[in-house]
């Protein structure tokens, strides 16, 4: 199992980095559209859509994602997607999702869950285009925040974790893991500010609070996906990634972080 997990991670990372640095803009948009479609397919399964309706939902979200490129929205605001898309995503992750997690409603409204999937996935895909437009290494640096946070939370939580973060949603997560994640991201932010800063016009002093905020958003995204899976009665969001589960299982933190990164660094 561990060998399969490692091999899948290596292949996935190699494919992602190759696409990130080698594809032209339209190729990168197509690459993101594929990931969005597969993620939407998994979300549809969590909401218990039948195969045909799941396909329609996936195509609809991909259509929403590619529409700005077709309409050339970037001509008017300098971004791939209209700015309101990122602000809507920001409100969703900063205000609505924490309340959703806190109350833990067993929501019977399929329409609400489908709308939540669109609000979570489409802005994140658009953010992949905009952050990569700054420079591929900039997007990689932003994503590294999620990877460092997740890794530190896992190891610190396993070694020192005693106080459960959200036992009814994700029993393995602890407050000690959260502290370890924020400490690791703090070190990463300090190195980023000291060595390179940001290609955007962001003062080095702001990089630490911004990355810590993104890390917290990533934890919220992780908990939100865990809540949706628990309500759906499944352990993994899918089976696309051997040893890992589904795509949503691997992108739950970045999905929440990416639109906020656009707001922090590009607005």
Mean pLDDT of 115-138: 95
**In the chain, where are the structural domains located?**
2-266
pTM of the model: 0.92
Is 21's pLDDT higher than 90? yes
DSSP state letter for 250: H
Q: Give the pLDDT band of residue 201 (cuts 50, 70, 90).
A: low
Q: Give the pLDDT band of residue 75 (cuts 50, 70, 90).
A: very low
Mean pLDDT of 158-187: 94
Q: How many CB atoms lie within 10 A of CB 45?
A: 18
pLDDT at residue 74 in the model: 47
Is 144's pLDDT higher than 60? yes
| Higher pLDDT among residues 246 and 62, named by residue | 62
> In Å, how far are 61, 80, 144, 150, 254 from 26, measured between CA atoms?
18, 12, 24, 30, 22
Mean pLDDT of 220-244: 85
pLDDT at residue 205 in the model: 81
**Contacts of the segment 141-144: beta carbons below 8 A, 24+ positions apart:** 141/192, 142/214, 142/257, 142/258, 142/261, 142/265, 143/254, 144/188
């Amino acid at each position: 199992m561990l060998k399969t997990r490692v091999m899948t991670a290596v292949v996935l990372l190699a494919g992602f980095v190759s696409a990130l640095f080698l594809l032209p803009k339209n190729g990168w948009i197509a690459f993101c559209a594929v990931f969005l479609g597969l993620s939407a397919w998994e979300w549809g399964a969590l909401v218990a859509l039948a195969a045909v309706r799941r396909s329609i939902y996936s195509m609809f979200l991909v259509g929403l994602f590619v529409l700005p490129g077709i309409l050339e929205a970037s001509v008017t605001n300098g971004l791939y997607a209209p700015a309101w898309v990122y602000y809507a995503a920001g409100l969703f992750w900063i205000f609505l999702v924490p309340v959703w997690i806190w109350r833990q409603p067993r929501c019977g409204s399929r329409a609400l869950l489908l709308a939540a999937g669109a609000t979570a996935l489409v802005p994140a895909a658009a953010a992949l285009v905009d952050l990569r437009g700054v420079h591929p290494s900039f997007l990689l640096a932003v994503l590294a925040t999620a990877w460092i946070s997740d890794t530190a939370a896992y190891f610190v939580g396993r070694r020192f974790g005693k106080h459960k973060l959200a036992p009814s949603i994700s029993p393995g997560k602890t407050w000690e893991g959260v502290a370890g994640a924020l400490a690791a991201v703090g070190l990463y932010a300090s190195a980023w500010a000291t060595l390179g800063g940001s290609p955007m016009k962001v003062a080095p002093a702001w990089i630490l609070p911004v990355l810590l905020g993104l890390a917290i958003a990533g934890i919220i995204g992780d908990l939100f996906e865990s809540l949706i899976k628990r309500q759906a009665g499944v352990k993994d969001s899918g089976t696309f990634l051997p040893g890992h589960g589904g795509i949503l299982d691997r992108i739950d933190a970045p999905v929440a972080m990416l639109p906020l990164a656009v707001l922090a660094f590009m607005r």
